[in-house]
With several copies, the nearest count.
Chain A
Amino acid sequence: MVVSGYAVKTSVFEGPLDLLLDLIEKRKLFVNDISLSAVTEDFIKFVEEHEEFPIGQSAEFIVVASTLMLIKSRSLLPNLTLTEEETASIDDLEHRLKLYQKTKELSIKLRELFGKNIIFEKSANRKEVVVFSPDSKTDIENISSAIMRVLETLPKKEFLPKTIIKKIISLEEMIEKLAERISKGVKMKFSDVYRKEDKISVIVGFLAMLELVKRGALRVSQDVKHGEIKMETDKIGTPNYV
């Protein structure tokens, strides 16, 4: 079958980069576009199975998922042209992931150091001489405005940043656009095969289709030397992931 088992252990992940890194490291791969492409299905499957993420986080997961799909598409269809922005987002993801990997590595070293051999400072002196010494601003007015500042800066609920909302919308658009571009390339209609209402199944189905396109293309180039390159549509049934 196209998509092999989703061997993701459901541990708690600190966000999408953490999950992505875990998937890559489980396969003992280096961080690069090839390994990112390889774990795309696993990543999306995980997001699908864990929809209980807080909204801010699931947005981050979907942003990463969209970039992974770009990488996957590019690796399967080398003549697919990506926009400058798309290429940049791929490079960024790869770079961020390498940084995150380094950070995790360093944080493990920190854990080994933290609290093990503390440099102690002087204890508090209990016999210090107390001299009543307010400053020029120690009055009711300043105290009152100070407490107001304190109250104002108490942490409040954070809302989903607008830029991320924008990116979620553009993810759906991007899936459609990509599907269109690829359908043209292989002379088939993506929309005929998959239900649009379920976003995740569209993504997973889309990736599966790409995989099939690749396999089909390979087989054709081996078997028929001068023949027309053509997809065999009966091979592109809905794969049974669910």
Chain B
Amino acid sequence: MNLESKIEAILLFKNEPVSLATLSNLLGTPRKDLQLAIFNLQRQYENRGIVIVSDEENLCLGTNTELSKLIETIQKEELQRELGRAGLETLSIVLYKGPVSRREIDFIRGVNSGFILRNLLIRGLVERAESRVGERSFSYKPTLELLRHLGIQKREDLPEFGIALQKIESFIQNPLDDANE
């Protein structure tokens, strides 16, 4: 793979501005070669939906400004979309059990909740909690705005809080007495 392809892949993966210094380090390539490759890349991406945004030191992928209307629409649409069954279920788990790790949520629901959690995050309904000791993945908890929006002051005010929490916890601790397999 040529240098241009490598840079392009790193930019996509990182999803944030990357410095020339970092690239040079990762690829073992002198800055001068990088600069040339970036120049080439920028020409390749001329008049395309994706552009390479750069200053003297940093670069990242971005969308063409000609499409900013379209992107705004998407952004709005994302925030206005109905949460749906899966969204509400995930949100309810975070409310009743939070702080709760991504793994626990997945385990309780029996499906992967990655995209749903991300959506709840950018909609300000849940937020990352301080990781609990020994946990590798993030934990999630409801935001204060959400509690306020629901008209409750604390989680304990949720309907049937005690029973629901207890059921969830006992499932996490002892998922199946005799799983079939």
Contacts and interface: CB of A to CB of B under 8 A. Distances in A.
Interface of A: 14-18, 54, 56-57, 60, 64, 88, 92, 95-96, 98-100, 102-104, 106-111, 113-140, 142-144, 146-151, 153-158, 161, 163-164
Contact of B158 (A119, A120, A143): A143
B180 A120 contact: no
B91 interface: yes
A18, A100, A118, A142, most chain B CB atoms within 10 A: A118
B102 to A, nearest CB: 11
Nearest to A95: B171
B109 A150 contact: yes
Given A111-B88, A121-B63, A143-B88, 8 more contacts: A18-B110, A57-B111, A131-B122, A132-B124, A154-B167, A158-B114, A163-B179, A164-B180
Contacts of B33: none
Q: How large is the interface on B (under 10, 10 to 19, 20 to 34, 35 or more residues)?
A: 35 or more
B57 interface: no
Given A146-B91, A164-B180, A106 B15 contact: no
A132 B145 CA distance: 7
Nearest to A111: B88
A147 B150 contact: no
A98 B62 CA distance: 36
A137 B83 contact: yes
Contacts of A17: 109-111
A127 B15 CA distance: 10
Indicate the member of B53, B111, B152, B180 with the most A CB atoms within 10 Å: B180
10 contacts: A14-B109, A18-B110, A119-B68, A119-B147, A122-B12, A131-B124, A134-B146, A136-B82, A155-B110, A164-B180
A81 B20 CA distance: 56
A95 to B, nearest CB: 6
Contacts of A146: 85, 88-89, 91-92
A16 B83 CA distance: 21
Interface of B: 12-16, 51, 53, 60-66, 68, 71-72, 75, 79-83, 85-89, 91-93, 95-96, 107-112, 114, 118, 121-125, 143, 145-153, 158-160, 164, 167-168, 171, 175-181
Contacts of B153: 119
B108 A100 contact: yes
Among all A-B residue pairs, the 4 with the closest Cβ atoms: A115-B81, A15-B111, A17-B110, A119-B62
A55 to B, nearest CB: 9
Contacts of A98: 167
Which residue of A106, A115, A137, A139 has the most chain B CB atoms within 10 A of its CB atom?
A106
A110 B95 contact: yes
A122 B91 contact: no
B89 A14 contact: yes
Contact of A102 (B88, B150, B168): B168
A132 B122 CA distance: 8
B9 to A, nearest CB: 8
A132 B127 CA distance: 11
A100 B118 CA distance: 21
Contacts of A153: 109-110
A161 B122 CA distance: 25
Nearest to B71: A120
A113 B68 contact: no
Nearest to A20: B110
